[in-house]
Amino acid sequence: MEKEMTGADRRKEILSMIRDTDTPVSGTAIGKKTGVSRQVVVQDIALLRTQGYPIISTARGYLLDEPKQAVRIFKVCHTNEQVEDELTTIVDLGGCVVNVMVNHRVYGKLDAPLNIKSRRDVQNFMDDLKTGKSTPLLNVTSGYHFHKISAESEEVLDEIEEALKKKGYLAELLPYEQ
Q: Per residue of the chain (178 residues), what is the pLDDT tens digit?
A: 445 778 888 999 999 899 878 889 999 999 999 999 999 999 999 999 998 889 999 999 999 887 778 999 999 999 999 999 999 999 999 999 999 999 888 888 899 999 999 999 999 999 999 887 788 989 889 999 999 999 999 999 999 999 999 999 999 888 777 6
Domain boundaries, the chain: 7-64, 70-177
Is residue 104 a known part of a binding site?
no
CATH topology of domain 70-177: Histidine-containing Protein; Chain: A; (3.30.1340)
pTM: 0.65
Strands 144-151 and 70-77: antiparallel
Task: Give buried/exposed letters for 125-153 (b at 16+ CB in 10 A, else e).
Answer: beeeeeeeeeebbbebbebebbbbbbbee
Is residue 81 a known part of a binding site?
no
d(CA 11, CA 65): 16
- The correct answer on CATH 1.10.10.10 for the domain covering 7-64 is yes
pLDDT at site 1:
41
Is residue 145 a known part of a binding site?
yes
